């Protein structure tokens, strides 16, 4: 039996990777103009980093991490990258740099969960993180950068959902209110919700169980819960964010029950959604994590970020035509074809040739399928130091000196 890719993983084939490179080029362009610099962190970290950073009460830490022991150390393949970027921010003294420090990344993440549309056990994320700014202008700039990036790769009909989880004091009051409302129906909720009732009641609002949603609706839990009552400072921050987004013409909808799935979020949380994905319609999610740097051993540092799955983003973008070879060298002299193809490549052009001595007609036939132009060098062309160039769209052909040929392709 042939060995196949493991469940929840997939090969990124050349045609798809060409589109990935196009998306990454747009990411680099948009993020660079917004002064985000690229960073790459290791794909595995100390398990403690995610236990402390992501939170013991999250599904990621409890159920989804790929953890292994090596030399008496517990290591984990990264399930997300914010904790790793914070670790790098602290380890390399970026807290002493001029703030804000603005970083972006791309790479594989790993979560053991049921594979579904747009979600795999090995997946790839593009993300941004900004450290050192407490004002809501940082939140607005991050959200605006996300919107501009998605627009640059052709996404349309996007909506931003927005909420504020407040500070620790705000959330303590909200947790108490949630527990008071849910306690009478606790025994009817799913096992995860019963655990979250003790560890992180806010996460109950993010439950995907249809039975739990029905119980919430029947008992008017969400209706009675209403909006989180923010303290004066958090309320001002949230209101300022909305003013900034209005100024930037970013359309948003307030969702008072948007909590996100990670423990480290404070104040602003947001999701950018697309109707094209059906029920799994979140494209991008993020928010503030003002306490995370301190949790991982640094000084109190306000921070915000977001991430998007590359596989999901790819599924939403218009697919480009397969890239064609610029020049296909046609010759029955393999040595000359090899030499000419590599001379063409020096000019940054894609060049290919036939690696076997097939007849000219067969080589032209192959060239017509994969190339824009055929460069023919028979015995006459070799003797006269010329080439015959055939445009495979118009089928027009002309013979010119090699000097003229290279002068043309260098323009």
CATH number for the domain that contains residue 262: 3.30.930.10
Does the reported pTM lie above 0.75? Answer: yes
Which of 294, 316, 338 is the last residue before a domain boundary? Answer: 316
Same domain, 40 and 88: yes
| Residues 85 and 296 sit within 8 Å (Cβ to Cβ) | no
Record the tokens describing residue 225, joined without a space. 């819960």
Q: What does the alpha-carbon distance between residue 122 and residue 112 come to, in Å, rounded to a whole number?
A: 8
Same domain, 138 and 90: yes
Which of 212, 229, 246 is the last residue before a domain boundary? Answer: 229
* Residue 161 confidence (pLDDT): 94
* Residue 147 confidence (pLDDT): 94
* Residue 118 confidence (pLDDT): 59
Same domain, 205 and 344: no
* Residue 295 confidence (pLDDT): 92
Query: What are the contacts of 119-122 at 24+ separation with CB within 8 A?
Result: 119/280, 119/309, 119/311, 119/312, 120/8, 120/9, 120/10, 120/311, 121/6, 121/7, 121/8, 121/9, 122/8, 122/9, 122/10
Same domain, 111 and 72: yes
Q: Is residue 149 situated within a structural domain?
A: yes
Same domain, 87 and 128: yes
> What is the total count of domains within the chain?
3
Which of 211, 229, 247 is the last residue before a domain boundary? Answer: 229
Same domain, 139 and 260: yes
Same domain, 220 and 303: no
Same domain, 41 and 182: no
Domain that holds residue 220: 169-229
* Residue 380 confidence (pLDDT): 92
Same domain, 100 and 214: no
Q: Is residue 245 situated within a structural domain?
A: yes
The Cβ of residue 163 has, within 10 Å, a number of other Cβ atoms equal to 23
Q: What does the alpha-carbon distance between residue 342 and residue 403 come to, in Å, rounded to a whole number?
A: 15
Same domain, 206 and 251: no
Same domain, 197 and 85: no
HSE toward the beta carbon, residue 74, CA cutoff 13 A: 8
Q: Is residue 9 situated within a structural domain?
A: no
Q: Is residue 343 situated within a structural domain?
A: yes
Same domain, 262 and 395: no
Per-residue pLDDT tens digits of the chain, which is 411 residues long:
899 999 989 999 998 999 999 999 999 999 999 999 999 999 999 999 998 877 665 666 767 888 999 888 999 999 999 999 999 999 999 999 999 999 999 999 999 877 666 578 999 999 999 999 999 999 999 999 999 999 999 887 788 999 998 998 888 888 788 888 888 888 888 888 888 888 778 778 777 788 888 888 888 777 776 666 889 999 999 999 999 999 999 999 998 878 776 678 899 999 998 766 555 577 899 999 999 999 999 999 999 999 999 998 998 888 878 889 999 999 999 999 999 999 999 999 999 999 988 898 999 999 999 999 999 999 999 999 999 999 999 999 999 999 999 999 988
């Amino acid at each position: 039996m042939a060995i196949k890719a493991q469940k929840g993983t997939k090969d990124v084939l050349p045609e798809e990777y060409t589109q990935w490179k196009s998306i990454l080029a747009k990411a680099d362009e948009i993020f660079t103009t917004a002064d985000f610099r690229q960073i790459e962190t290791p794909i595995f970290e100390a398990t403690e980093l995610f236990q402390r950073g992501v939170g013991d009460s999250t599904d990621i830490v409890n159920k989804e991490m790929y953890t292994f022991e090596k030399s008496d150390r517990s290591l984990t393949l990264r399930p997300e990258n914010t904790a790793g970027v914070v670790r790098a921010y602290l380890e390399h003294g970026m807290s002493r740099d001029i703030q804000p420090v603005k970083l972006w990344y791309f790479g594989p993440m790993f979560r053991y969960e049921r594979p579904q549309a747009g979600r795999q056990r090995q997946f790839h994320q593009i993300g941004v993180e900004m450290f050192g700014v407490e004002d809501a202008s940082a939140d607005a700039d991050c959200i605006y950068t996300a919107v501009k990036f998605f627009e640059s790769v052709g996404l349309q009909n996007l909506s931003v959902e927005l909420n504020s989880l407040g500070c620790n004091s705000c959330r303590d009051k909200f947790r108490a209110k949630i527990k008071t409302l849910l306690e009478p129906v606790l025994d009817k909720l799913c096992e995860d919700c019963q655990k979250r009732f003790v560890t992180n009641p806010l996460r109950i609002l993010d439950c995907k169980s249809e039975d739990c949603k029905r119980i919430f609706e029947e008992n008017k839990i969400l209706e009675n819960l209403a909006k989180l009552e923010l303290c004066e400072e958090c309320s001002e921050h949230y209101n300022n964010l909305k003013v900034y987004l209005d100024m930037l013409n970013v359309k948003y909808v307030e969702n008072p029950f948007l909590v996100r799935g990670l423990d480290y979020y404070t104040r602003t949380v947001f999701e950018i959604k697309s109707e094209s994905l059906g029920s799994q319609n979140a494209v991008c999610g993020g928010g503030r994590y003002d306490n995370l740097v301190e949790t991982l051993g640094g000084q109190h540092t306000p921070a915000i970020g977001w991430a998007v799955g590359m596989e999901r983003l790819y599924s939403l973008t218009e697919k480009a035509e397969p890239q064609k070879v610029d020049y296909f060298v046609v010759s029955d002299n393999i040595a000359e074809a090899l030499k000419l193809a590599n001379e063409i490549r020096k000019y940054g052009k894609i060049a290919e040739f036939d690696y076997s001595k097939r007849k000219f007609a067969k080589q032209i036939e192959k060239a017509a399928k994969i190339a824009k132009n055929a460069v023919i060098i028979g015995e006459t062309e070799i003797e006269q130091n010329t080439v015959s160039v055939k445009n495979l769209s118009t089928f027009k052909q002309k013979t010119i000196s090699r000097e003229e040929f290279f002068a043309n392709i260098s323009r």
